[in-house]
């Protein structure tokens, strides 16, 4: 989608207010009703219609009439809201031309108030070439339905968090600057993608550095998952390499961690063999031989980071659950046994008054004779009171419109009445016809 920010200077505060109301209403509506937009924005109903028409003319909202007037925000409207927030925060002052486009994002140049150039990345999940998001990414969690705007927002938030953690850990990644909705602002890398490089002075050194980067990721407990020539930037003097794009970072505890690691390694080997005509003599590293030095996957909550923890919990539940319940039962039993003699009512009092479980009687023990009668009377009284309560509840909660049997009987009664009316009308019509015939004969 083309980003045209020229119209942004003509959008008024009230129009941004209505646009924000549409965004808030889309939390639980696919198309937000006009009444709800008016209620959220706090504006008059008639004025909201006019403002929505202006927003629709600029293609910031999309209007749909499915039994009611509904609006949803477009990606361009989402861009305007995010850029306005970044502008108010002083992170971005201007937006330049587009420098890149991918299957799930658009890349633009931007600048701050000091004139320093930066990169503005707009996540746009849901394109035709990237419809398998729910199989390839876990942004949506366990949700069965989620809008592409919401998934784009989660994708941008995750990339910013990953980039911040990797930058703090000393990895060669762009400097994270700001994040708002589906936008990520980062530092500009003066270089070119590795995919555009055709000649390298020292391919062996490049091969060694790239594989060292893959190993370093694994030592910190994460795997890039998409480590190829399109996600690696190299400076003009080939002195530095910078890793970008972190949508598929997974933990080394992920069930498919070995597959992801081998794919990253194979991507490096394949690129050097096919593009740079370099065949390495050193065997590629193996994930099983790498020693873990930190838990970066836990810090950033990478996909699969709690795989071992979940297995450990399942093991405890399977093997330690019975023992734990036995211990808890024993402890609760001991507590009840200790507390029973000190109680002044209930079974403990009855036992101390009339006798014990061994049958030693201290007095006139009538508990075995009286208890069944009392229990029977109490049970009968409780049953009668319960029956009365249920009857009162049914009488109070009865709704003839919800009673299917009542509805069926009412319909049958109406059908019988209609049939009776039809028969009566037929008889009347027949008698009238006979009267007319008799009158004609007389004449």
Catalytic residues: 226
Please give the Cα distance from 16 to 7 (Å, whole number). 12
Dihedral sign of CA atoms 6, 7, 10, 16 in order: negative
By the 8 A CB rule, do 112 and 100 touch? no
Give the burial string for 399-419 (b: 16+ CB within 10 Å, else e).
eeeeeeeeeeeeeeeeeeeee
Q: State the DSSP code for 262.
A: H
Please give the Cα distance from 145 to 213 (Å, whole number). 37
Q: State the DSSP code for 103.
A: S
Please give the Cα distance from 64 to 425 (Å, whole number). 50
Please give the Cα distance from 422 to 385 (Å, whole number). 51
Q: Which residue is it, tokens 């609760």?
A: 332
Please give the Cα distance from 262 to 285 (Å, whole number). 9
11: left (phi over 0), alpha (psi -120 to 50) or beta: beta
Query: Does an H or E element contain 95, and which?
Result: strand 94-101
Please give the Cα distance from 170 to 286 (Å, whole number). 23
**Closest to 256 measured CA to CA, from 295, 292, 225, 291:** 225
Which residues are 62's β-sheet partners?
72
Two tokens, residue 317: 């539940």
Close Cβ partners of 34 (under 8 Å, ≥ 6 residues apart): 45, 48, 49, 52, 68, 69, 70, 71
């Amino acid at each position: 989608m083309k980003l045209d920010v020229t119209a942004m200077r003509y959008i008024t505060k009230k129009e941004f207010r209505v646009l924000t109301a549409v965004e808030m209403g889309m939390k639980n509506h696919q198309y937000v009703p006009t009444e709800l937009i008016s209620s959220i924005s706090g504006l008059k109903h008639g004025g909201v219609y006019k403002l929505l028409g202006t927003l629709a003319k600029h293609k910031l909202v999309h209007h749909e009439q499915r039994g009611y007037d509904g609006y949803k925000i477009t990606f361009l409207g989402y861009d305007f809201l995010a850029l306005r927030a970044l502008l108010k925060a002083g992170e971005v002052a201007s937006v330049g031309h587009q420098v890149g486009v991918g299957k799930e994002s658009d890349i633009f140049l931007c600048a701050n108030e000091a004139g320093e150039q930066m990169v503005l990345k707009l996540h746009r999940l849901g394109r035709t070439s990237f419809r398998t998001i729910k199989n390839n990414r876990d942004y949506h969690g366990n949700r069965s339905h989620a809008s592409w705007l919401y998934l784009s927002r989660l994708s941008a938030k995750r990339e910013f968090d990953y980039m911040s953690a990797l930058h703090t850990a000393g990895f060669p990644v762009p400097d994270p600057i700001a994040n708002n909705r589906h936008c990520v602002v980062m530092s500009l890398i003066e270089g070119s993608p590795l995919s555009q490089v055709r000649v390298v002075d020292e391919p062996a050194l490049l091969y060694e550095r790239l594989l060292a980067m893959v190993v370093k990721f694994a030592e910190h407990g994460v795997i890039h998952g998409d480590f190829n020539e399109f996600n690696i930037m190299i400076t003009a003097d080939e002195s530095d390499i910078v890793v970008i794009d972190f949508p598929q970072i997974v933990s080394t505890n992920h069930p498919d961690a070995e597959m992801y690691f081998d794919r990253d390694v194979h991507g490096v080997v394949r690129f050097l063999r096919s593009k740079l005509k370099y065949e390495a003599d050193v065997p590629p590293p193996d994930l099983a031989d790498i020693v873990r030095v930190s838990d970066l996957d836990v810090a950033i909550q990478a996909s699969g980071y709690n795989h071992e923890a979940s297995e450990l919990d399942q093991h405890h539940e399977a093997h330690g659950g019975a023992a734990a319940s036995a211990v808890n039962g024993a402890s609760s039993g001991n507590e009840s046994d200790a507390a029973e003699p000190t109680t002044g009512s209930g079974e403990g009092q009855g036992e101390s008054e009339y006798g014990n479980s061994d049958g030693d009687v201290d007095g006139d023990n009538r508990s075995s004779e009286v208890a069944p009668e009392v229990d029977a009377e109490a049970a009968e009284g409780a049953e009668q009171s319960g029956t009365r309560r249920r009857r009162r509840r049914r009488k109070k909660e009865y709704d003839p419109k919800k009673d299917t049997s009542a509805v069926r009987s009412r319909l049958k009664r109406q059908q019988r009445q209609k049939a009776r009316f039809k028969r009566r009308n037929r008889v009347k019509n027949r008698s009238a016809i006979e009267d007319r015939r008799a009158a004609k004969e007389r004449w």
